[in-house]
Amino acid sequence: MIFKDKVAIVSGGSRGIGREIVLMLAANGADVIFTYLANKEAAEGLAREVEKLGRKACPAQLDSRDFNRSKELIEKTKQDFGRLDVLVNNAGITKDKALMMMAKEDWSSVIDTNLTGTFNLTRNAIVTFLKQKSGNIVNITSITGMIGMARQTNYAASKAGIIGFTKALAKEVASYNIRVNAVAPGFIDTDMVSGLKEEYRKSLAQNIPLGRFGKTAEVANAVKFLLGDESAFITGQVIVVDGGLSIR
């Protein structure tokens, strides 16, 4: 129970990697507030699963682009739970297109959700962490933000931005016993890649040294390590979970 009685917020928690992180935190003793954009049913289903693990779960509808609603969520969490220990910024969307076909809206919505969304929750949580002189933040980025992928200029820019944000903030708040790290998944079996054609999936997997897509639990394990005391001397780092895809 490495997170016993801790209170965690996970953005984009109802599906995929976020969902796995919510379950990992609850299984290790944390109460979890998680946000979702649209799928209320999935969110409520997950809340019931968390409660089966004996922990409190609180699904909250939130568009990550909304600064004021993000602020309200943090305030409400402090009111209801009396504290906040962990923030996992995971909410993210893709709108993949060749740059020549990319509308301004495709660019803005991805940057605003992924990068500004990370700012919105972190900005509103950081004063609490600074005051209590403890806190742990993990941002979910992507190998796309490190090595680039064609047709993902918007997504890659948002994820590279998250890495810069992580490193800068880690330096800024380290003396307050707050750690800030990032996890960069490669191809993971989630809804985000399930839309790909089987043949294309196979050819992608061939380029991964470990020969397969990753599992959401394998990403959650890296998050668990970064949030736990075993990584107490690690801050401002990016752990890549990609089966070796980005090895250069």
Partner 1 sequence: MQDIDTEIRDLIAAIIEKEPEKIGPETRFMEDLGVDSMMALEILAAIEKKYKIVIPEEKLPELATLSATVKIAREYLAGKKNEQS
Q: Which residues are marked as active site?
A: 155
Instruction: For the CB of residue 130, give the shortest distance to partner 1 in the complex, in Å.
Output: 5
Q: In the set 42, 60, 102, 130, which binds partner 1 (CB under 8 A)?
A: 130
> Can residue 131 be called a binding residue for partner 1 (CB under 8 A)?
yes
Nearer to partner 1, 94 or 122 (CB): 122
Please list every residue from 171 through 190 that binds partner 1, using CB under 8 A. 176
Q: Contacts for 91-94 with beta carbons within 8 Å, 24 or more apart?
A: 91/11, 91/12, 91/18, 91/35, 91/37, 91/62, 91/64, 91/117, 92/12, 92/117, 92/140, 92/142, 92/155, 92/158, 92/159, 94/152, 94/155, 94/192
d(C-alpha 7, C-alpha 4), whole Å = 9
Tell me whether residue 131 or residue 212 sits nearer to partner 1 (CB atom): 131
Nearest-approach distance from CB 82 to partner 1, in angstroms: 13
* Class of residue 23 by CB neighbours under 10 A (exposed 0-12, middle 13-18, buried 19+): buried
Cα distance between residue 113 and residue 12, in whole Å: 10
Window 21 to 60, contacts with partner 1 (CB under 8 A): none
How far is Cα 90 from Cα 188, in angstroms, rounded to an integer?
A: 14
Residue 127 or 232 having the CB closest to partner 1: 127
CB of 2: closest distance to partner 1 in angstroms? 27
Beta carbons within 8 Å of 205's beta carbon, 6+ residues apart: 187, 211, 212, 213
Host H or E run for residue 59: strand 57-61
Assign 97 to helix, strand or coil.
Answer: coil
| 98, 127, 150, 232: residue in contact with partner 1 (rule CB under 8 A) | 127
- In whole angstroms, how close is the CB of 177 to partner 1 at the nearest point? 13
Q: How far is the CB of 127 from partner 1 (least distance, A)?
A: 5
* Region binding partner 1 by CB under 8 A among candidate stretches 47-55, 80-88, 124-132, 188-196: 124-132
- Residue 93 interacts with partner 1 (CB under 8 A): yes or no: no
Nearest CB to partner 1, comparing residues 176 and 225: 176
Q: Which is nearer to partner 1, 134 or 221 (CB)?
A: 134
Does position 168 interact with partner 1 (CB under 8 A)? The reply is: no
Q: Interface with partner 1 by CB under 8 A: which residues? A: 127, 130-131, 176
